[in-house]
């Protein structure tokens, strides 16, 4: 009984702390949106055969905090603030792409993360192309990674949104494939051309035969569907070799390159090009 009550108060305190944190995030987030207090980290994605960089993923950072996107993006979605954040982000990556062009760096497609919640917004597609047009960019400058935080409702509408992007040449990846809501149904129904295998499978390559079997099966399936496969969470040389041997065309992870601020990325990229 004692320990039962202890447990209860542990959970209730944890829940209260969680609710308080959400409340703080919610309050601070609107200030941050107003003050443009976000920045992006850029992480390279490589072709595992040639070793060449093929694109770069933009990861959202809340400046001057240690609160990661996994904590604040769901709050931004639940409160409807994600639209404002996403609008800022689109302009930011479009400007970044144009800045690389102006610096005579070979521009790289920038992949952005879009949650299914953002796809509910009827304005999303128009805003996407407006941001590109404003910066004078072609549709293949920005790629979309579809990340899921909730099960997808109104799938027909979302297929429509994604098809509008696809038909104009935007690359769409299904993120975190194999986990949570990122399932075979989506692979079958959504107009995607790339699959990112979740790092929980990639980490186990070489030591966990189940991860190995699942990764191999995802690669075979994707190949039959004509989709590219990206291994995420490549943290060691051994993982890299296993991912490559299993047929993953692309890879991303701390072993290859970490997410970097845009200045650090510039410096890293120049060195890489030399
Ligand atoms: P994700 O799209 O799967 O992004 C990859 C996450 O794995 C990033 O964490 C990245 O820093 C981390 N990562 C990269 N390489 C490695 C590795 O080798 N090992 C390990 N352990 N981790 C690695 P981050 O930046 O904290 O992002 C977490 C998630 O937050 C993202 O997962 C994505 O779902 C979401 N997110 C990030 N930025 C945005 C955004 O702008 N909009 C939306 N809607 N979601 C975002
Ligand atoms: Ca992603
Ligand atoms: Ca992912
Ligand atoms: Ca994720």
Half-sphere exposure (Cβ direction) of 110: Cα atoms closer than 13 Å = 29
Residue 11 pLDDT: 66
Closest listed ligand to the CA of 230:
3
| Contact by Cβ (8 Å): 165, 128 | yes
Rounded Cα distance, 161 and 158, in Å:
5
Q: Smallest Cα–Cα separation from 190: which of 226, 162, 154? A: 162
pLDDT along the chain (274 residues), means of 10: 59 73 86 94 98 98 94 91 94 95 94 94 96 94 89 88 96 90 81 95 93 95 94 97 98 98 96 95
Q: Are 154 and 161 in contact (CB under 8 A)?
A: no
For residue 255, the ligand 1 atom closest to its alpha carbon is 18
Q: Are 251 and 43 in contact (CB under 8 A)?
A: no
For residue 182, the model assigns a pLDDT of: 62
Q: Measure 267 CA to ligand 3 centroid, in angstroms.
A: 25
Token match 């996994």: residue?
A: 70
pTM over 0.95: no
Nearest CA to ligand 1 atom 21: 233
Count how many Cα atoms sit within 13 Å of the Cα of residue 169 in the half-sphere of its side chain. 9
| Mutation choice for ligand 1 from 33, 38, 56, 59, CB with most ligand atoms inside 8 A | 59
Helix then strand then coil, in percent of the chain rounded to 5, is 50, 20, 30
pLDDT value of position 200: 94
Residue 201 and residue 215 in contact, taking contact as beta carbons nearer than 8 Å = yes
- Quote the ligand 4 centre to 64 CA distance (angstroms): 22
Out of 55, 68, 198, 232, mutate this one to test ligand 1's pocket (max ligand atoms within 8 Å of CB): namely 232
- Nearest ligand, CA 74: 1
Q: List phi, psi (to 5°) of 191.
A: -80, 70
Give the Å distance between the CA of 145 and the centre of ligand 2. Answer: 5
Residue position matching structure tokens 């009827």: 122
**Alpha carbon of 202 to those of 92, 110, 171, 242, 256: distances in Å?**
31, 23, 23, 9, 14
Cβ neighbourhood burial of 60 (10 Å; 0-12, 13-18, 19+): buried
Residues having CB within 6 Å of any atom of ligand 1 = 43, 59-60, 68-70, 73, 89, 113-115, 145, 147, 175-176, 199, 232-235, 252-254, 259
CB 43 within 8 A of CB 257: yes
pLDDT of residue 1: 45
- Nearest protein CA to atom 29 of ligand 1, as residue: 70
pLDDT value for 25: 86
């Amino acid at each position: 009984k004692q320990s039962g009550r202890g447990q209860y108060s542990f959970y209730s305190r944890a829940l209260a702390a969680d609710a308080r944190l959400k409340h703080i995030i919610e309050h601070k987030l609107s200030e941050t949106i107003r003050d443009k207090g976000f920045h992006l980290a850029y992480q390279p994605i490589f072709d595992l055969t040639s070793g060449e960089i093929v694109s770069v993923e933009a990861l959202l950072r809340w400046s001057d905090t240690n609160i990661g996107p996994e904590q604040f993006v769901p709050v931004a979605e639940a409160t409807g603030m994600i639209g404002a954040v996403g609008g800022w982000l689109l302009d930011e990556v479009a400007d970044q792409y144009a800045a690389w062009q102006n610096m005579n760096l070979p521009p790289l497609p920038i992949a952005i993360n879009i949650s299914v919640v953002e796809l509910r917004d009827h304005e999303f597609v128009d805003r996407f192309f407006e941001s590109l047009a404003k910066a004078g960019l072609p549709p293949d400058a920005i790629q979309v990674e579809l990340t899921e935080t909730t099960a997808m409702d109104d799938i027909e509408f979302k297929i429509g949104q994604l098809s509008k992007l696809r038909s104009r040449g935007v690359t769409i990846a299904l993120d975190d494939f194999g986990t949570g809501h990122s399932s075979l149904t989506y692979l079958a129904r959504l107009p995607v051309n790339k699959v990112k295998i979740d790092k929980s499978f990639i980490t186990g390559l070489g030591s966990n035969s189940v991860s190995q079997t699942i990764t191999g099966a995802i690669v075979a399936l994707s190949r039959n569907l004509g989709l590219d496969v990206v291994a995420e969470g490549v943290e060691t040389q051994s993982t890299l070799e296993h991912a490559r041997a299993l047929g993953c065309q692309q890879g991303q992870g701390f072993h290859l390159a970490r997410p970097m601020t845009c200045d650090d990325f510039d410096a890293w990229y120049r060195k890489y090009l030399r």
